[in-house]
Copies of this chain bind each other. A is one copy, B any other.
Amino acid sequence: MSFRISADAIGTDNARRLAFLEDDYAALKRQMARRGIDLDAIADQVAAFGVALPSWGVGTGGTRFARFAGSGEPRGLDDKLEDCATIHQLTRATPTVSLHFPWDKPSDATALKAQAASLGLGFDAVNSNTFQDQPGQPVSYKFGSLSHPDKAVRDLAVAHNIDCIRLGETLGAPALTVWVGDGANFPGQQNFTAAFDRYLDSMAQIYAALPQDWSVFIEHKLFEPAFYATVIADWGSSYLAATELGPKAKCLVDLGHHAPNTNIEMIVARLVRFGKLAGFHFNDSKYGDDDLDSGSINPFQLFLIFNELVDAAQRGTPGFAPAYMLDQSHNVTDPIESLMNSAMEVQRRYAQALLIDRAALTEAQTACDALGAHNILKQAFNTDVSPLLAEVRHRAGGAIDPLALYRASGYRAAKAQERPPRGGSSAGIV
């Protein structure tokens, strides 16, 4: 018997916190009313917001130097779904899971879909993997996959992506996310143009295999695992590829995949404007693709991204429906805690972006009132929406304080009993 947190446990914990929440929510509601904002209407919008969980994110992550296992780590897909369900149970903010193949390839996709549904979960975009060799693989991705000089390697990578689509179809997923590590460690190693053309040719084959209502998300990344050049290194290359492929191809923005100092919110605006924003891999970073918890390093940046998204939604951009996914590496925390925290952080910045007075903002922008416009954003960002988020969770049957409840629940300790330690070495690669 697998341990689950009971609805009763949530109810009991919430009951202890309710009076204070009501006081705080009421105070915030009065304050918002003075600004002309109906907090309950905002609550409805926040309640409708969800972010997908990455199947790989519920296991402990690592660096090339080491991985330090956690206790009670999921042993397989069943355990991962269970952990995802727990996150959604408490936060009510993560209704879908994004699977990564072949790491989480189900033996029976139809059964998996039913199992997920029984846990209240659906599936978001599926992810392919051609940056690692699998045992028995006939040719190697050491020097690339979709852009490899050798057609046999490209064919293998294309076939794998098409397999992912087929699996995803069965699971009810809407899209395929393609990230490749293809690139070069040395100037001269790769002909940039030839490699890009081979990538386009491979992607065209994958594109042709997309179901009618599917999308393919192209994920760019500045560097790592290739350290001199990467085939899809920036949003410009991503946009070119997506445009060459066709309307089903769009550009995915991972917050950690940019050069230092990049204005990511502007990239979001550009992709929205040209109909090519696929969605996000949320995380935070200080140096590179650090895969830290969302909003843990630069929460204002996350807010500014949601400012663009809310602006796009409110002005009625046609076809605007970005996909939201977490993509983090949890090296020093309980992954369930990090994912709950991150989902609520993303929700927090979205909620704050909803508080922006857009009419006043437009007026200030038109009048070149730089400081006035800025302060409109800042007022929203400085507003503590914690009571709003807790209220939304409470209304939906979630926990007022998911972290506290989770820690008190004994979930991790129970899983440490149920799940024998994962064999994963901590030796690193270096």
Q: Tell me the A residues contacting B by CB distance below 8 Å.
A: 20, 23-24, 27, 30-31, 34, 56, 61-68, 131-133, 140-143, 149-150, 181, 184-194, 196-197, 222-225, 227-229, 233-237, 239-240, 258-263, 265-267, 269-270, 272-274, 285-288, 290-293, 296-301, 304, 307-308, 311-312, 329, 331-334, 337-338, 341, 348, 361-362, 364-368, 370-371, 373-378, 381-384, 386, 403, 426-430
Would A292 and B429 be within 8 Å (CB), given that A270-B196, A334-B371, A371-B333 are in contact? Answer: no
Chain B CB within 10 Å — which of A297, A348, A430 has the most? Answer: A430
Contacts of A341 in B (CB 8 A): 371, 375
Partner of A132, one of B56, B184, B428: B428
Q: Give 4 new A-B contacts, CB below 8 A, not counting A133-B426, A149-B365, A186-B293.
A: A56-B430, A63-B429, A192-B269, A228-B263
Partner of A261, one of B287, B348, B430: B287
Distance between A306 CB and nearest chain B CB, rounded to angstroms? 12
Contacts of A141 in B (CB 8 A): 66, 68
Number of this chain's copies in the complex: 4
Q: Assess whether B287 is in contact with A224, with CB atoms less than 8 Å apart.
A: yes
Q: Assess whether A333 is in contact with B370, with CB atoms less than 8 Å apart.
A: yes
Contacts of A376 in B (CB 8 A): 188
Q: A64's closest neighbor in chain B, by CB?
A: B64
Give the CA-CA distance A228 to B391 in the complex, in Å. 32
Give the CA-CA distance A331 to B368 in the complex, in Å. 12
Q: Assess whether A260 is in contact with B261, with CB atoms less than 8 Å apart.
A: yes
Q: Assess whether B66 is in contact with A133, with CB atoms less than 8 Å apart.
A: yes
Q: Assess whether B296 is in contact with A265, with CB atoms less than 8 Å apart.
A: no
Distance between A274 CB and nearest chain B CB, rounded to angstroms? 6
Would A267 and B236 be within 8 Å (CB), given that A187-B304, A285-B227 are in contact? Answer: yes
Contacts of A191 in B (CB 8 A): 311, 361-362, 365
Give the CA-CA distance A237 to B239 in the complex, in Å. 10
Q: A317's closest neighbor in chain B, by CB?
A: B193
Q: Assess whether B366 is in contact with A149, with CB atoms less than 8 Å apart.
A: yes
Q: Assess whether B224 is in contact with A63, with CB atoms less than 8 Å apart.
A: yes
Contacts of A293 in B (CB 8 A): 186, 371, 374
Contacts of A288 in B (CB 8 A): 223-224, 287-288
Give the CA-CA distance A187 to B338 in the complex, in Å. 14
Q: Assess whether A188 is in contact with B229, with CB atoms less than 8 Å apart.
A: no
A-B interface, 5 closest residue pairs, ranked by CB to CB distance from nearest: A236-B236, A259-B259, A27-B27, A68-B142, A227-B290
